[in-house]
Structure 1
Amino acid sequence: MTSVQETHEPGTSDSAVHRPNALVRQWQSFWAAVQFLTHIPVPAVLLADARDERPRLQLATLYFPLVGSLIGLVTGTVIWFASHLWPLWLAVGLGLAVEAILTGALHEDALADCCDALGGGWTRADVLRILDDSRLGSYGVLGLTLALFLRAGALAALEPSLMLPAVIASATLGRWAMILALALLAPLPDRPSLTQQAGRQTFGHVLGGAVLAVAGSLPLAVVSPLRLGLSVAAVLAVTAVFAFYLQRRIGGMTGDGIGAICYISQIAVLLCCCARLGITLRP
């Protein structure tokens, strides 16, 4: 009885044999981004091998804006359809509820945790301790309530022609802000997390994510280039200020930090899109 043995090319190692090609790695990274940002079950066959966890997560961040565009498309479509059956404020509430189910309220939870920790913690140790506490305090409740109110109010104030483009652009730019935040501020080294595995983002990742962010924001650019320009400026400002604040308070970025930046950036984009600029937009 003969046995079949694996044959390798001379000079190759086991890791080289099992390493997927570039296209497969990008495909796996996209699904890793879906897994990271949503509650959609992703089959293991679509993800990289566990031995490649860190490189996969580092590449996955590149696709955050694309996943954000898809999330925004779902949210905006639900609001658009629901607005034909119910008043707009009910349609907005339904759209946000569907999005929360789709994402597992990931960014809402991060924002509430950050409000609790940064509002109630006086020292670095206090902030990190509160971040680890799963209980929600008064700062978290107040911060999340105000954030939901601002986001829902901005959505309800949008002109009909801006609804879908603005929702998609806000979701897209919000996820791009996560990449930018990790480029401006490295994850805390003493807190093991998926954010730490993603690591400090390079200029190439920021630029690559920006390309996808621009693509996802094209509908808004067609309807109102001025509002898109203001939105990008607002996202840059929010990300830079929040990253600087986290640097001063705790000395690095956390998963809750990038989640809060994402949500606040989305609100900033929507506020830019519903602002009264003294111009007439044709539907």
Structure 2
Amino acid sequence: MGDRAPSWAPPLLAVQFLTRLPVPVLARLTPTQASDGFTRAMAWLPAVGSLIGAFTAGVYVAAGLVWPPVIAALLALAIEAVLTGAFHEDAVADFCDAFGGTARGEEALRIIRDSRIGSYGALGLGLAVGLRLAAIVMLPADLAVAAIIGAATAGRLWAVLLAAILPPPVTGTGIAARIGGRMRWRRAAGAALLTIPGVLPLALLSPWSLATSMATGMVLLWWLARFLRARIGGSTGDCLGFAAYIGQLVVLLAAVAA
């Protein structure tokens, strides 16, 4: 067995990374292959995001047959959190705790690594989830499905793009340190191609909202990269997760405004 992961490994590693679904076949990889496969798996994050979004949208539609939209949306988000382990929600809380105040450098990195949630994190997470819930409820049923899937897809692309734009801090550890310094734009381009199927339904139903969210997303990503470079000198895994969640919000809010 070589050092390069087999072609089937990167998409399955992306599934393992973004969800709690067991992928026992990955135990066959050597540590070197797993490291190589994880780096290549970044391109598959939008595709896995599409699957997560389709699952969430399916729960929302099914629950809507029994309960009002607000309850259906809450159930969909709750069950999605079980599927993903509230992966990005945890990142939002950590990000808000670290940057809600004036902390910089090592102090900010220490806060973002702390598993405890403070007042900034609690408020930021509550507002983020509340905005997502409100946006889903406000959308017509057909557009809601397309928007949920499109947002889940585009949000993961945001994480990939931020990793390509901004490497981890010099003292960084964890997810961003594993992929950030080695992230290549060709993998980001591959992620962009794999984004197309997930956003296509929204593009057909509401092209203006998709175009608006993409344009807004590029501006916000540029600002976020500058902000993080100034505050901690790079991006961490929680920063990538925060970008993914905000990317979802931008798409959903644009769909509501269209």
Scaled by the length of structure 2, the TM-score of the pair is 0.95
Q: SS of the counterpart of 2:8?
A: helix
- Supply the AA of the counterpart residue of 2:82: I
Q: Deviations over 1:6-30 (max 9, x none)?
A: xxxxxxxxxxxx1288xx7231001
CA distance in 1, matches of 2:214, 2:108: 30
Q: CA deviation at 1:52?
A: 2.1
Q: CA deviation at 1:230?
A: 1.3
Corresponding residue of 2:75: 94
The Cα RMSD (Å) is: 1.6
Residue 75 of structure 1 contacts residue 167 of structure 1 at CA under 8 Å; is this kept in 2?
yes
Higher relative contact order (CA 8 A, sep 6+): 2
- Supply the AA of the counterpart residue of 2:70: W
Corresponding residue of 1:246: 228
Residue 173 of structure 1 contacts residue 235 of structure 1 at CA under 8 Å; is this kept in 2?
no
Residue 147 of structure 2 contacts residue 252 of structure 2 at CA under 8 Å; is this kept in 1?
yes
CA distance in 2, matches of 1:219, 1:47: 37
CA distance in 1, matches of 2:84, 2:225: 23
Cα gap change, 1:167 to 1:184, in 2 (>3 Å) = same
Q: Is 2:197 the partner of 1:215?
A: yes
Which of residues 76, 79, 92 in structure 1 aligns to 2:57? Answer: 76
Residue 31 of structure 1 contacts residue 47 of structure 1 at CA under 8 Å; is this kept in 2?
no
Q: CA deviation at 1:242?
A: 1.3
CA distance in 1, matches of 2:62, 2:28: 34
Residues paired across the two proteins, number: 257
Which of residues 136, 153, 178 in structure 2 aligns to 1:172? Answer: 153
Residue 114 of structure 1 contacts residue 257 of structure 1 at CA under 8 Å; is this kept in 2?
yes
Q: Is 2:208 the partner of 1:226?
A: yes
Identity across the alignment (%): 41
Q: CA deviation at 1:188?
A: 2.1
Gaps of 5+ in 2: none
Larger radius of gyration: 1
Q: Is 2:240 the partner of 1:258?
A: yes
Gaps of 5+ in 1: 1-17, 278-283
Which structure: greater helix fraction?
2
CA distance in 2, matches of 1:52, 1:257: 26
CA distance in 1, matches of 2:210, 2:195: 11
Q: SS of the counterpart of 1:19?
A: coil
Residue 120 of structure 1 contacts residue 127 of structure 1 at CA under 8 Å; is this kept in 2?
no
Q: Deviations over 1:93-120 (max 9, x none)?
A: 0000011001000100001001001113
Q: Is 2:114 the partner of 1:133?
A: yes
Q: Deviations over 1:201-255 (max 9, x none)?
A: 2221111111111121111111121111112122222222212111110000100
Cα gap change, 1:117 to 1:45, in 2 (>3 Å) = closer
- Supply the AA of the counterpart residue of 2:2: R
Q: Is 2:148 the partner of 1:148?
A: no
Corresponding residue of 2:12: 31
Q: CA deviation at 1:54?
A: 2.5
CA distance in 1, matches of 2:19, 2:70: 25
Q: SS of the counterpart of 2:169?
A: coil
Residue 238 of structure 1 contacts residue 261 of structure 1 at CA under 8 Å; is this kept in 2?
no
CA distance in 1, matches of 2:198, 2:219: 20
Q: Is 2:10 the partner of 1:19?
A: no
Residue 175 of structure 2 contacts residue 236 of structure 2 at CA under 8 Å; is this kept in 1?
no
Which of residues 188, 204, 207 in structure 1 aligns to 2:186? Answer: 204
Q: CA deviation at 1:42?
A: 1.3
